[in-house]
Structure 1
Amino acid sequence: MKKIDLDTYPRRALFDAFISLDIPTYSITCQVDITSFRTIQATLDCGFFVPFSYLLSRAINAVPEFRHRLIDGDIYEFERIDPSYTVLQDDRTFSFCDSRHFDAFVEYRDHAQRQIQAAREHPVCDDKEKHNSFFITNLPWLNFTSITHPFNRKYASIPIISVGRFCLHGDRVLIPIGLQCHHALVDGIHIGDFFGRLGELCSDPADVLGLC
């Protein structure tokens, strides 16, 4: 990771405007068209979540502002951020699961499946250092229109992605995606960049997943 010089940081005025707010985070939910992705995903043997979380990881890593973190009052940029999931347990509780971003889907899939299985066998709910992560919470029961999350101020700069229940709208399959982030680091234009990139990845999943 590298430290960002606040004296030359182009968002310095915006950083100062939002950093001291009582609630500096905000959340936006958008419907994402996953019609092409669903067609391809149905032919895979790894379910929905793992390949879709790969697209989320690709999209969020593509926008530098989502790799920025507040650490002891300074801004740092990570070269790569890794996904951390919620995993449902048999007793209807959930565990946290730390995974890793890989550029190649096959590597991502294999690592994610191992980590998810380990989280099911040995549930973890501790709050540890995760500045180089982003969070994904999976809510396949809810076709939500908005969502917010509690946050620890120490980790408030870590983005949280929420994945809801996909539904058929005419001939299209849409899914709600919520994104919570810290306004001292991320503006609406950057959220637009994320959703734009995610839309591109979802529109050509065969190539993105290395299936052609």
Structure 2
Amino acid sequence: MQQLNLFEELAPALPVSYYPDFLSVQEANELYQHCLQLEWQQNYIKMVGKIIAVPRLESIYGDAGCDYIYSNSVFLRPLPWTEKLAQLRDSITALTGHKFNIVIGNQYRSGEDSIGWHADNEPSMGVEPAIASVSLGAVRKFQLKPKQGKPTDFWLEHGSLLIMHRGCQSTHLHQLPKTKKFVSTRINLTFRSHVGKTA
């Protein structure tokens, strides 16, 4: 498995690893088609006293009882693992040694869909969790920055794997910004741990 050290070359302090060829083109294409058939939902989030639509579609699969809450307003209850998602989880565990209980899917339908600056540090994920992120479909700009620093821009390819190592969520923020350029659908699968505490 080739590990491309773009992150290390451009920003040596970034606590991440990147594998551009984690999946073959055929594997990535098949997984993308599978993910299009997942149960996607439009969720709503409370921000500044208003209820607004989350600017993307979401799905969650995983172990029973691993409910997930983020921003104190969006509740996700996992559906049972599909065979392909479970196989992907096991492949990532074999590579990284990290075990995951859930996978959260984000479907970015166009350049208008996005996710703003944030850290994935919900209590249910435990202390200093590692997160594995698989990208499928269109290439979108991904940004990562220290909480008090400037962002570094990267483009995550179809079939690639990004590992945000333990500690990353404490020291860094990340986002997928909007773009005015035409882009087709991108699906992101983030594999996460779950320790049972949702609030």
Q: Give the TM-score, by structure 2 length.
A: 0.31
Q: Radius of gyration: which is bigger?
A: 1
Structure (1 or 2) with the greater strand fraction: 2
Quick check: which one's helix share is greater? 1
